[in-house]
Amino acid sequence: MSIVRELRVVWRLRGVQLLALLMLLAFVGWRAFQLKFCVLDLDIWWHLKVGEWIVAHRGFPHVGILSRTAADRPWMAYSWGYEVPLSRAYAWFGLMGVGVFGTLLTMAVSYAVYWMARRLAGRFWLAAGLSTVACSAFLFNLMPRPVFLSMILFAVTLTLTLEAQRTSRLQPLYWLPLVFLVWANCHIQFAYGIFVVGLFTGVHLFLQLSEHLGIVPDFVLPSRLPVRRLVLIFGSCLLATCLGPYSYHLYFVIFTYAGSKFPYAFIREFMALNFRAISHYVELLLAGAAFFTLGRQKRVDLFKLALLTVASAVAFRTMRDSWFLCISAVACMADCYGEVDAIEREPIEREPGETVPQKAGLAAGLALLLFLFARNTDFNTRGLDDAMSSVFPVNAVNFLRRNPQPGPLYNTFDWGGFLTWYMPDYPVAIDGRTDLYGDEIDTRFFRTQNGDASYIDDPYLNEAQVVLLSKKVPLASALLSDARFSLIFQDSLTVVFVRRQTP
């Protein structure tokens, strides 16, 4: 028993806890350096180019800039709050700026999940364990895109909401309109946060109405918050999402995404979990543990139960939204264990959080470790350039720069975003903005690149003078025997065709 007591004393030492947190965050940074996802993402380049456009024009686009096939179609840069800082990072520091920006964003997500769990659970090791498990299930399944800002702000929203419910005080919720003002100008998935606040308000309204009618069962956790003020806060959050360059029109984008069919049929990250990766099983176990934890409570929390149910339905439907379930599960478990000890079933003694000097020391130690990691993981301009060149058609674009060909250009979906940035003289035929092109155009391009017989009559291909393709797509093989095109460049990754001139 003495050894156990000594271990408990050691675990409670603030220095040990800070060292453990430092190691956790440093591992996330090291892994980000190693994978170099920050420059391998298919979409980050059009985000970068849009940010540059906004800075150069000092305005916000309302049509499909960078595209030749959708140049006149309506489009909104709803992630401009991410794109402008990204473009400044590149303008000031080049590729290293992009790399560091993505790495810091990845680490910020992991810290936000830990911060949420620590605030709700009131215990370091529980928060560290839950956040580590959750991040292992989703963090490195996506590239550092604007959705990472949604993850961070979703964690903040859940923290404020559950703290208000636990303490029966509305003060934490007064921050929510500011959160949504920022969120709506950074990423379209602010809709998930609006859903959570709306669900929270609706559940409390239902509980108080049921209590007034005398039909609330004893096993349901009652509401102790003033509903009228909750409704006002929810309305303020809705209003805050309309304070930006696109105002309420952002909701039309949400409806467009909700009705889109193409991404869920053709883009892997939008497809349902296939349980061929360990992270899928971790996500499943995390969800199961969260439901089990809720079931062990003396009273049923309808808000948490509804949140977990909806999050499970969404996350198991599309891999990209695994974070929605994982963060919700951590929040629910941390909040439950923050009230009552899981073993002794008694109220816990909440540990104080890190002080400002401790956080400053943590940041300094983390910066030093990241500097050392960068030197040993080839995380530098040359290393990032080599990683980028192994995935994107850098050599082919350089060839076209030395040997200019008349446009227009035909390209496929995957490389469109990169070409908007690296070959801006040729407006792309398509890129990753599925909301811009719509299901019909997106489907047409996917069928053509897969060598469907209809490629012969594809209007976008038939009007192109330059065709830049990956060697792997079936269309590349088909064009080798197509008398309309001549091969002018190829390497291990790319082929470039030009249209033969008819006599």
| Local confidence pLDDT in tens for the 503 residues of the chain | 455 454 454 556 678 888 999 999 999 999 999 999 889 999 999 999 999 999 999 999 999 999 999 999 999 999 999 999 999 999 999 999 999 999 999 999 999 999 999 999 988 999 999 999 999 999 999 889 999 999 999 999 999 999 999 999 999 999 999 999 999 999 999 999 999 999 999 999 999 888 888 787 778 888 889 999 999 999 999 999 999 999 999 999 999 888 888 888 888 888 888 898 899 999 999 999 999 999 888 888 999 999 999 999 999 999 999 999 999 999 999 999 876 544 444 556 777 778 888 889 889 999 999 998 888 888 999 999 999 999 999 999 999 999 999 989 999 989 999 999 999 999 999 999 999 999 999 999 999 999 888 889 889 999 999 999 999 999 999 999 989 999 999 999 999 999 987 65
Residues 324 and 471 in one domain: no
User: How many C-beta atoms lie closer than 10 Å to residue 376's C-beta?
Assistant: 10
Count of structural domains, the chain: 2
**Greatest CA separation for the chain:** 94
Would you state the pLDDT for residue 14? Answer: 74
Would you state the pLDDT for residue 1? Answer: 46
Query: What are the start-end ranges of the H helices in 62-140?
Result: 80-121, 124-138
Query: Taking the mean position of all CA atoms in its chain, how far away is CA 366?
Result: 23
Domain that holds residue 204: 78-351
For residue 459, tell me if it sits in a domain: yes
Residues 248 and 145 in one domain: yes
Residues 397 and 347 in one domain: no
For residue 374, tell me if it sits in a domain: no
Residues 204 and 144 in one domain: yes
| Chosen domain end from 320, 336, 351 | 351
Of 109, 187, 188, residue with least CA distance to 146? 187
| Chosen domain end from 293, 326, 351 | 351
Would you state the pLDDT for residue 394? Answer: 95
For residue 253, tell me if it sits in a domain: yes
| Chosen domain end from 319, 351, 383 | 351
Q: How far apart are CA 483 and CA 465, in angstroms?
A: 14
| Integer angstrom CA distances of residue 452 from 445, 447, 456, 476 | 10, 5, 9, 12
